[in-house]
Amino acid sequence: MRYRKLANTDLDVSVICLGTMTFGQQNTEAEGHEQLDYAISKGINFIDTAEMYSVPGRAETYGSTERIIGSWLKKSGQRKNIILASKVTGPSPAFKHISSNLGFSKNRIKEAIEGSFHRLGTDYIDIYQMHWPERKTNFFGQLGYVQHDDQWQDNFEEAISTMNELVTEGKIRHWGLSNETGWGVMRSCFVADQNKWPRPASIQNPYNLLNRSYEVALSEVSLRENISLLAYSPMGFGLLSGKFHKKLDTPQDRINQFKNLARYNSPKSHEATTMYILIAEGAGLTPAQLALAFVNDRPFVTSNIIGATNMTQLKENIGSVDITLTKDVLDQIDLVHKEISNPAP
């Protein structure tokens, strides 16, 4: 395994982070424990979750992922050896079962983290993230920001002040953002700097061969402001594995099982994936290895959040850390990207 420094912190995180949002929906507790055991054995020290997981978020499975991680932590005694990240849920009518007061008020953040502590069986979280913005803006595939018409009141100071309190109290070590825009990241840095509070250490946004929109503005923010990208959906909900093109998919696969998760299932995404499969085969790689190795070595990526529903996938995904793409392969990838740019933003 390889490790990288998380922003300006003292944390060295594994280049591969184990994403866990399938635990409690597509994976049982026993399967989740097996994945965690294997990941740790391969040098992964970074685990990501959220209070709203598993995905898709439903009242019936709310908190199940954190509970599974918590039972594993109790059984394994590994808490001191891992870097654990979780998230407080942003506002959305779909998640009223979590709280009637979703968002990043001081009371909600503190309520959320205490719930996570209870489910995880810990009294601190290494990286605590705001899951998505409170305001109306471009995230989860939304494009074309226009004059905003929401009633949002700038809440950055209250939210960041609360994160600072949690750091001071020893309940979190660092805080981060997720599904955020360039403006949101820089606004966060400005508010933190003005008040001499800690800046966000990380931003967790989607980044993969079908969605390289992070490169447009946020990559520069990551590099110049030293804010670590924790890249999620590196496999485009499994499409980039090639299994759908090769008719190896099953009814249990995410794109087949959850039709509302259609972000990576457009005709253009399938067309681009066909081209990436050909590049992988020409380089003697599997499509998954190509997709993950590309993300692993981008200069603005600190850690690549992989997920799997079975051990075969998990082993292949973790093994991508040992693959380095040649300049010729990277040039071929860029040609596809130029022809079909960001089909799944």
> pLDDT of 235-248, one tens digit each?
999 999 999 898 87
Q: Contact at 8 Å (CB) between 44 and 31?
A: no
Least confident of 202-206, 242-246, 254-258: 254-258
Annotated catalytic residue: which of 3, 38, 53, 62? Answer: 53
Average pLDDT over every residue of 229-233: 98
| 260 pLDDT above the threshold of 70 | no
pLDDT of residue 136: 87
Going by pLDDT thresholds of 50, 70 and 90, the confidence category of residue 11 is: very high
- Ordered by where they begin, the domains of the chain are 3-204 (3.20.20.100)
In this prediction, what percent of the chain has a pLDDT beyond 90?
88
Q: What is the pLDDT of residues 64-111, one digit of tens each?
A: 999 999 999 999 999 999 999 999 999 999 999 999 999 999 999 999
Alpha-carbon distance of 277 to 293, in angstroms, equals 14
Whether residue 214 lies in the annotated active site: no
Going by pLDDT thresholds of 50, 70 and 90, the confidence category of residue 194 is: very high
pLDDT of residue 261: 66
| 16 pLDDT above the threshold of 90 | yes
Q: What is the pLDDT of residues 118-169, one digit of tens each?
A: 999 999 999 999 999 999 888 888 878 776 777 888 999 999 999 999 999 9
Residue 331 makes CB contacts below 8 A (sequence gap 6+) with none
Place of tokens 């209870």: 118
Which position has the higher pLDDT, 244 or 336? 336
| 227 pLDDT above the threshold of 80 | yes
Q: How high is the mean pLDDT of the chain?
A: 95
pLDDT of residue 336: 98
Give the dihedral of Cα atoms 88, 302, 142, 266; nearest 10 deg.
-120
Which position has the higher pLDDT, 258 or 344? 344
Average pLDDT over every residue of 311-325: 98
Alpha-carbon distance of 305 to 17, in angstroms, equals 5
Burial class of residue 182 in the structure, from the number of CB atoms within 10 Å of its CB (0-12 exposed, 13-18 middle, 19+ buried): middle
Average pLDDT over every residue of 274-290: 98
Rounded to two decimals, the pTM is 0.96
The torsion angles phi and psi of 52, rounded to 5 degrees, stand at -80, -10
pLDDT of residue 147: 66
